Amino acid sequence: MADFDLYSLRNVFTEYGVMICFNGPFSHSVIEELGIAVRKYLESNDAPKNCIADVFAVFIEQAQNLKNYTSSGPFSEPEYARFKNGTLVIAREGDRYIVSSGNFVRDEDCPALEQSLSSVRVLDKLQLKALYKERLRGASPAAGGGAGLGFIDMARKASDPLAFSVRRLADGSAFFNISVSILAG
Amino acid sequence: MEKLAIEPALSSPSVMFDPDSGLLEIGGESYPENSFEFYAPIISWLKQYLAEIDGPVTLSINLSYLNTSSTKCMIDLLDELEAAFRAGRTVAVEWFYDDENERELDTIDEFREDFSMPFSAVPRKEPA
């Protein structure tokens, strides 16, 4: 740890316009406190109210997805210890805010995740609204306590199609990352 | 029947449902740790109230933000009122919004599309 260079890490954040970053286990109280910080930061940057509302909403859906996934079922076993840590950043890139989060996922969960996001990212705003309403009526609680509506809601608030990647790792797990961009103006 | 009173927290709204006046108020923000657990007793209270007590009922909502799972629960709550309205009960829903934040009115409009009971959007004077 002695040669860990926090300064270079900070320079990476600056280079990519990262305003807020959290890395660690997502508890409900962490989500609440970060949420307050996100809003205050955007208010102090004079972001318009609807933009603050969209960034906040996407932040909440990503953070609660992370928490629900990493706290469900098998992840209480010691072999999954590192799965508990998620990473979430909010950055500014040109005229957009980027809300991006990542966490380890089990290999067997990847196909459903990729399928779900691939199908959502090609829809236009009207199709997204229709799908959202359909799911709202049909949805029963997902295992982690969510409604299974998060990706659709993020896509509706995004200014570009959702970006995501799944990086397969040698140990049979994968790292999942989703990024949502929201017009700042 | 007892009043239903829930204190507000950072991520969950205050709830004050009064069976005597028929005024049901909910206000604040809604992104609790588990929305289904939070809303289950509220929905059961409403079901019991609608079944046991007659008279006009007004749901007054002053929520500035709902996450997706709270939105799902709110639909379930509103479905109960809509069913009562269709069965002949006097029902009104009023939902307050910040007129400087168009997202709040967008949210209300999306709910309103799905119901036939009286459902009004009212500009808020003070922040939620």
How many other C-beta atoms can be found within 10 angstroms of the C-beta atom of residue A101? 23
Which residue has better confidence, A179 or B124? A179
What CATH class is the domain A6-183? alpha beta
User: For domain B4-123, which architecture applies?
Assistant: 2-Layer Sandwich (3.30)
CB contact under 8 A, B65 and A57: yes
The whole-angstrom distance between B35's CA and the closest CA on chain A is 7
Residue B106: CA count within 13 A, CB half-sphere: 12
Residue of B65, B31, B74, B16 lying closest to B6 (CA atoms): B16
pTM for the model stands at 0.94
A140: which chain B residues are within 8 Å (Cβ-Cβ)? none
Q: Kindly state the DSSP code that residue A60 receives in the 8-state scheme.
A: H
Band the pLDDT of A171: cuts 50, 70, 90: confident
Average pLDDT, chain A: 91
Identify the pLDDT of residue B5.
98
Reply yes or no on whether the pLDDT at A67 is more than 90: yes
Q: Kindly state the DSSP code that residue A161 receives in the 8-state scheme.
A: -
Q: List chain B domain ranges.
A: 4-123
User: How many percent of chain A have pLDDT more than 90?
Assistant: 75
Q: Is the distance from CB of B78 to CB of B53 less than 8 angstroms?
A: no
Predicted ipTM > 0.90 = yes
C-alpha B9/C-alpha B29 separation (Å) is 8
3-state SS of chain B is: CCCEEECCCCCCCEEEEECCCCEEEEEEEECCCCHHHHHHHHHHHHHHHHHHCCCCEEEEEEEEEECHHHHHHHHHHHHHHHHHHHCCCCEEEEEEECCCCHHHHHHHHHHHCCCCCCEEEEECCCCC
Nearest CA in chain B to A55: B103
Identify the pLDDT of residue A24.
93
B102: which chain A residues are within 8 Å (Cβ-Cβ)? 50
* Residue pLDDT, tens place only, B34-79: 999 999 999 999 999 999 999 999 999 999 999 999 999 999 999 9
Q: Is A165 helix (H, G, I), strand (E, B) or coil?
A: strand
Q: List chain A domain ranges.
A: 6-183
Interchain CB contact of A54 with B (< 8 Å): yes
Q: What is the mean pLDDT of residues A55-68?
A: 96
Reply yes or no on whether the pLDDT at B6 is more than 60: yes
Selecting from B36, B68, B75 the residue whose C-beta is nearest the C-beta of A153 gives B68
C-alpha A81/C-alpha A53 separation (Å) is 33
Identify the pLDDT of residue B90.
98
